[in-house]
Structure 1
Amino acid sequence: MALSTDTVAAAATETPDGTLVGRNSDSKIGFYGATPAVQPAALSLASVTAAQLATALASIGLIKTTA
C-alpha cells in the first residue's frame, strides 16, 4: 500500500500493531518541532561512537546537542 503524501493521513494509517511512523528509509520524521529528516544511516554497534549516536538522534530531534 502506497503512503499518502498527506502527512496527517500517513500518520493515521494503522495496522493491527498500531500506528506506523517512518515506514520507509526515505520517510521523513521529526520530533519536538525538529525539521523532519530521513532515517539516519545504520550504525554498527561494534564500532559506533557516542558522537555518531548523538548526531543520529539529534538529526531527528530526539536529543539536543550543545557546541
Structure 2
Amino acid sequence: MTNYSKEPSSLFSGVVNEYVKYRPRYPKDFIDQVLNWFQADGQGRLLDAGCGPGTVTLDMSIALKRSLASIECRDD
C-alpha cells in the first residue's frame, strides 16, 4: 500500500505545467461519442467539477452554449 507523506490536495503542487504538457488528451472520437450520447445540440450547458486543467471542458465546449469548469483552490 502506498503511503503518501503529503496531503492529497498537494500531490501535484509545483508540477502543474508538466501535468498539462504531458497528460494525454481524450481522443476526439470519445469526446464526440459523449456529446452524441447527451444529444449536445449547441444549446446545452456543462459543469465540469474537479476539472483539473479543464481539457475536457475545452474539448466539449464547442458543442455547448455555456460551460463552467470548477477546480479546488488551495487556501495557502
TM range (shorter): under 0.3
TM superposition score normalised by structure 2: 0.24
TM superposition score normalised by structure 1: 0.26
Q: Which has the higher helix share?
A: 2
Q: Which has the higher strand share?
A: 2
Larger radius of gyration: 2
Q: Which has the higher contact order (CA 8 A, sep 6+)?
A: 2
